[in-house]
Structure 1
Amino acid sequence: MMDIRKLTKEETPPWELLLLADPSRAVVEEYLKSGNVYVGEKSGKAIGVYVLKETKKVVVEIMNVAVHEDFQGKGYGKQLIAHAINEASKRGYAQVEIGTGNSSIHQLKLYQQCGFRMTGIDFDYFTRNYDEPIVENGLLCRDMIRLCYTFED
């Protein structure tokens, strides 16, 4: 179990973790301007992070979610996603969206296990928006898979 808290605007975001999920510091800096950063800590050390950003009046998006490599595969990612869903629910949002690369096999599995459903594909998103090719799990990351969690009425 880890403690999850909202980072204050005065605190420095955990860049090492944020860049695990998104290799472009410029892209991350852009969504940090209007997003809220939540840090998962264990014994006072940041081991996980996610960013929640309102995209529409009733929709919030998880822009970044990452767990330190030493702690992956132990349920911390699932705990971060559950926390994000709970935060969105408390704030009255109708949906939580998330996007990930076509090559992000483990993340696609995790998000679906957490109740997200695939809603679309943004073809060539990563080749359009990132200067360097991203290769993950032996696959070129080209397309963004969009998923959505909808709260039941």
Structure 2
Amino acid sequence: MIRGADIEDFSFIYRLYMHPKVNPFLLYEVMNEKDFEPIFHDLLKDKVLFIFHENETNIGMFKLIRLKHRTDHIAYLGGLAIHPDFSGKGFGKKMLESILIFGKEMELLRIELSVSVENEKAINLYQSVGFEKEGILRQYTHLKSENRFLDEALMSRIYPRNY
């Protein structure tokens, strides 16, 4: 199930963003809790941060950011992660399927994301629920900790239009 994140989720979100197996594929460099707090509060204020849970256990997180004006039929999916304790157990696919249902309820026509071209596991997962590659964003993400840039694959999932 999906629910909006709240202040009580800080510890789960922080630990997941900073987890050594997860962090290289997400937006923020490793930082201490104090430095992460304003980022977390902005995400809560913007109401774009969500928790995927099952049986009251937090399993994963994601951001879903609806675009505006002529692109308000689109949402950007980012910060998607399953806690490593639950990795490889089908929760990633369950979470994505739930996100797609949530997007349909929001009357979206398109969900887009970018993913490191090195993250083949994630690319395969996205493709398994209907996301398609649209192109490569060259030198898109800078990993300061490794002093290198990553290319990202731009992917999207289009909902059928009911006219």
Fold shared by both chains (TM-score > 0.5)? yes
Shift of 1:23: 5.6
TM-score where L is the length of structure 1? 0.80
Match of 1:22 among 26, 32, 54: 26
Counterpart of 2:145, as a letter, is E
Query: Which residues of 2 match residues 104-115 of structure 1 at below 5 A?
Result: 104-115=119-130
Match of 2:116 among 80, 94, 101: 101
Larger radius of gyration: 2
**How many residue pairs align between the two structures?**
143
5+ residue gaps, structure 1: 135-139
Is the Cα–Cα contact under 8 Å of residues 66 and 76 in structure 2 kept in the other structure? yes
CA RMSD of aligned residues (A): 2.6
Distance in 2 (CA, whole Å) between partners of 1:24 and 1:142 is 14
Offset from partner CA, 1:39-65 (integer Å, 9 cap, x none): 122443322111111133110011111
Shift of 1:12: 3.6
Match of 1:147 among 130, 155, 158: 155
Query: Which residues of 2 match residues 21-40 of structure 1 at below 5 A?
Result: 21-22=25-26, 24=28, 29=39, 32=43, 34-40=46-52
> Which residue of 2 is the match for residue 49 of structure 1?
61
2:107 partner SS: coil
